[in-house]
Structure 1
Amino acid sequence: MIHPKTVQTTAAVAAHYDDLDAFYREIWGDHVHHGYWVTGRETPPEAAVALIEFLADHLNLAPDLDVMDIGCGYGATARYLAQTRDVRMTGFTVSAAQAAYAATKPVPGVDIRVQDWLTNGLPDACFDRAYSIESSEHMPDKQRFFDEAFRTLRPGGLLGVYAWLSKTDPRPWEVRHLLEPICREGRLPSMGDEADYAAMAEHAGFEIQGQADISDRVRKTWWICLKRVAGKIVSDDRYRRFLLQRSAENRIFALTLVRLLVAYRTHSMRYCLLVYRKPAGAGEGNRTLLASLEG
């Protein structure tokens, strides 16, 4: 597990997204996550939806399921799944700015809350499915992230996690120049590898359903973001003022975009879909586990 030189708290994560709220929506759009390119010719919005569909298919989302979006951002994924898969969605975000924006786009069956997942206060076994899209990285206590997912899922329920992961045994220069700064600048309390996540999930009680490394299918996201940021710096004085504002602690994230692109190019970082299953209760039988997911 890689840890940043300075401690990153949940409050720092919330401040990061509140501070960069307008910039995130202008650069990323409502879906604050990677895109998934199959042909390479998809538009960014198409790629963003493809990432959601890839997840939904591997969680076997069906009508009338209760689904939790852990770290829901602006609620765009929750809204999309409620409308296309006819599921009931609950989303948690620690960013008041994100929740306020989500409230401007209400959709039946979608409930977005400003709430820390690690202290969610939900009853046991209240969801059929749960997922985290690039939010587990922001959890100060990743074991509790898994423990709470296990507790709140019903027996037989599935947890899907899209995660930024470190390669196994990164070299010192990769940690020093890429992975540690990405954690520190991106407000990640830690970054694990696939084995770390598997160990925490199994400790919580989950069975490993499968995994898919889709790093090569998503890394185009960072080229697009860098080009958009560069264009905004040239054309929009707000971006130049923000980058020159010394009191703006999160302005460093512009540099992090470059580090992320290099980290994917050098395979120092991986982007994976990890799927875990809460074992079925007595009398429900056992399902065959998948060794891997089709990429």
Structure 2
Amino acid sequence: MVESTQSISTDDVARHYDQLDRFYREIWGEHVHHGVWETGKESPEQAVRRLVDLVAERAQLTPGMEVLDVGCGYGGTSRILAREHGVHVIGLTVSPAQARYAESVTEPPGNPQYLLEDWMENQREPSHYDAMVAIESTEHMQDKVRVFTEAARVLKPGGRLVVCAWLSGGNLKPWEHRHLIEPVCREGRLPAMGTEGEYMGWMQNAGFEVTGALDVSEKVARTWPICAWRMLVGLVRKPGYLRFLLDPKNDNRIFALTMLRIWVAYRRGAMRYVVFSSVKKT
């Protein structure tokens, strides 16, 4: 596991998303996660939707299920799961800006339901939920062991857990650790980035049977050159972008550089992306 050299708190994560709220939505839309290019011909919107469909397939959703979306962002995935799969979704986020946006675009209100709640301090009922999904959110949590023990606590026996995770490559060169993965953690407000083996171990030790670990690293890497290009276009066309990046009060402005680090890290194999699926043992 690669750890950030800077301590990262939940408040730091919330401030990251609140400060970058405008940029995330303008550059990538309401789904703040990677896209999956199966053929390479998909539009970014189709690729982003493909990841949601992968998650839904592995969660094996059926109408009436109770589902948790941990780290729901702007609620894009939550709304698709509720609308198209007939499940009841509770989405958790630590970002007030994300929660406000999610509430504003959900019609009719009530499903999904959005809560401003830290997973590490969650108030969810034990053995209550049929499925839990976490798309690119576990990276923001310090205590990875607790991430999965809490998942086991709230899921019913036989409940399904689907986690999409940014991962560190297994054999990093010293310069990759120093100039790519550790800065990605620090600048992206990730306390630590685990490996595939560590994630599988954490799930198994928490009482899950791992049923799949789909490596889609090559299929998601295209996300970052698209984001970088859209950022450059924004700098030319929207004066507010440049003002934001030049304002020292915005300590998360460094993420403009982080996007380039992530792009290089994928090309080097120093960073990976895996969709994990597992079942809580009965």
TM-score, normalised to structure 1, is 0.93
Does 2:78 align with 1:78? yes
Q: Deviations over 1:122-178 (max 9, x none)?
A: 111110000100000001111111111110000001100000000113111110010
Note the C-alpha offset of 1:118: 1.0
Q: Does 1:259 align with 2:239?
A: no
Partners of 1:203 and 1:18 lie apart in 2 by 34
Please give the per-residue CA displacement for 1:211-235, whole angstroms capped at 9, x wherever unaligned.
1100111111101101100000111
Between the aligned partners of 1:61 and 1:172, the Cα distance in structure 2 is 42
SS at match of 1:151: helix
Q: Which runs of 5+ in 2 are unaligned?
A: none
What is aligned with 2:212?
Answer: 210
The residue that corresponds to 2:104 in the other structure is 104
Q: Which residue of 2 aligns with 1:147?
A: 149
Q: Which residue of 1 aligns with 2:134?
A: 132
Alignment of 1:264-279 (within 5 A): 264-279=266-281
Instruction: Give the drift of 1:30.
Output: 0.5
Question: Among residues 116, 119, 135, which one is paired with 1:117 in the alignment?
Answer: 119
1:41 aligns with: 41
1:224 alignment partner in structure 2:
226
Mapping 1:10-29, distance limit 5 Å = 10-29=10-29
> Counterpart amino acid of 1:25?
R
For 1:270, give the aligned amino acid: R
* Equivalent-residue separation in structure 2 for 1:62 and 1:43 (angstroms): 28
Determine the C-alpha separation between the residues in 2 that align with 1:248 and 1:270.
29
Offset at 1:246? 1.5
* Alignment-mate amino acid for residue 254 of structure 1: A
The residue number in structure 1 matching 2:87 is: 87
* 1:184 aligns with one of 165, 183, 186: 186
How far apart are the structure 1 equivalents of 2:147 and 2:4?
A: 19
Distance of 1:4 and 1:31 partners within structure 2: 25
Give 1:80's aligned amino acid: I
- Supply the AA of the counterpart residue of 1:240: L
2:99, 2:186 → 1: CA distance?
24
Give SS of 1:210's match.
Answer: strand
Tell me the distance in 1 between the aligned counterparts of 2:275 and 2:215: 7
Q: CA deviation at 1:83?
A: 0.7
For residues 223 and 79 of structure 1, what CA distance do their matches in structure 2 show? 27
* Distance in 1 (alpha carbons) for counterparts of 2:192 and 2:236: 34
SS of residue in 2 equivalent to 1:249: coil
1:64 aligned onto 2:68: no
Q: Which residue of 2 aligns with 1:169?
A: 171
Distance 2:111 2:18 in 1: 25
CA distance in 2, matches of 1:46, 1:109: 24
Q: Deviations over 1:230-262 (max 9, x none)?
A: 000111110111111122100000000000000
Cα RMSD after superposing both structures = 0.8
SS in 1 for 2:74: coil
Distance across 2 between alignment mates of 1:259 and 1:92: 28
* Distance across 2 between alignment mates of 1:124 and 1:248: 39
Show structure 1 runs of 5+ residues with no match. Answer: 281-295
Q: CA–CA distance in 1 between the matches of 2:211 and 2:274? A: 13
Counterpart residue number, 1:55: 55
Rounded Cα–Cα distance in structure 2 between residues aligned with 1:166 and 1:182: 10
Q: Which residue of 1 aligns with 2:252?
A: 250
* Partner SS, residue 128 of structure 1: strand
2: CA distance between counterparts of 1:6 and 1:198? Answer: 26
The SS at the match of 1:250 is: coil
Matched residue pairs, number? 280
Counterpart code for 1:20: L
AA of the residue aligned to 1:49: R
Query: What one-letter code is carried by the residue in structure 2 that aligns with 1:167?
Result: G
So what's the TM-score if we normalise by structure 2?
A: 0.98
**Matched residues, percent identical?**
47
2:242 match = 240
Partners of 1:201 and 1:39 lie apart in 2 by 31
What is the distance in 1 between the residues matched to 2:151 and 2:32? 22
